[in-house]
Amino acid sequence: MIGKATAEIFEQQDVVGVFVWQFCDTRILQEGPRNWPMSRPLSRNNKGIVDEYRRPKMSFYAL
């Protein structure tokens, strides 16, 4: 999906680039809402294009 979205963005004549907001997975605060353990495995924001050890994920190759 990220590859398709990026291709769509670059088809626009007035777009000159994009910025990857979350490059790598990062640790988040231990404190927070009680449902975080269910939605945040290992207390991490896992939305990066590389994991916490900088190993590329599928989205890395799509970009």
CA neighbor of 58 nearest in space, from 38, 35, 39, 50: 50
Mean pLDDT, consecutive 10-residue stretches, the chain (63 aa), reads 87 88 82 63 81 92 87
Total structural domains in the chain?
Answer: 1
pLDDT for residue 35:
62
Containing structural domain, residue 24: 2-62
pLDDT recorded at residue 58: 92
The two three-digit tokens of residue 22, written as one number: 């979350």
Which pTM was predicted?
0.64
Residue 12: the pLDDT is: 92
